[in-house]
Structure 1
């Protein structure tokens, strides 16, 4: 089981099941009926549109002669991977940034990817050392340099327009 788990860790178990059924030349509908499940349920699982619950996993494992718990573990590893994707920071650590820096908007509604230039400019103008470090960590040097260079160009361009 360990090699099976390591090999397919993070992949939806339905995809593995579909592969296993094809390898054994088994059709989904008759297989689903043979384990007492609706064909639509099995189809949704093999397409990755539905999670594989423990009860169905045990039926499938028994019918296919797989070690007990293999598919259930694959589902768990898949769920962990999906949660990690969700938790992967889409925002900087908001506990470090003062809400007063964003007095004119709801800090929880900011699109941190789309509005990065204005955010970087604001933090570098008004933020403290911890806030600047958090923004550097979140965006990275390349994006900050791009935003600061664009800001410099925009400021110089507006100064040129005022002088004309």
Structure 2
């Protein structure tokens, strides 16, 4: 399994477990009881909604004849991939959430989302839809959006409308 582990890097181990159970024609409920674990726990793992603990991963390894630590190693690879994804999101929001037409005059990949935040926020709040505004709100936070838009409140995802900045 060591050589084939490479192709499973970054995939939730529950999805791999589900595939392995199907290959062996094992049902999740009886498999869970054989471990012994609650069937709901194994279902949540196979759906990718729950992480593997060391204890459960060892039980699965033994039950399926894997080398000890295989499933836990897959969980670690998955966790690393998730953490890398989180770090990338901090550099810029998910660009798939924005229509390319909003940035017709520039390459969105090359924008400095930290230094150019004022112009980016203005552009999105002047021309963007609610999904795009929500993505900016999630990325920059309420304070920064309020600073640029001049809006005093953001409540229940009701997003601010651009207001002219009043001279102080």
Asked if 1 retains the 8 angstrom alpha-carbon contact of 2:57 and 2:71, the reply is yes
- Provide closer, same or farther for how the CA distance between residues 116 and 60 of structure 1 changes in structure 2, counting only shifts above 3 A: farther
- TM-score of the superposed pair, with normalisation by structure 2: 0.56
Q: CA deviation at 1:113?
A: 8.8
1:84 aligns with: 84
- TM-score of the superposed pair, with normalisation by structure 1: 0.57
Gaps of 5+ in 2: 94-111, 128-168
1:52 aligns with: 52
2:38 aligns with: 38
1:107 aligns with: none
Gaps of 5+ in 1: 103-109, 118-164
Moved over 3 A (4+): 91-94, 110-117
2:22 aligns with: 22
Secondary structure of the residue aligned to 2:10 is coil
Asked if 1 retains the 8 angstrom alpha-carbon contact of 2:12 and 2:74, the reply is yes
Give 1 or 2 for the bigger CA radius of gyration: 1
Larger helix proportion of the pair: 1
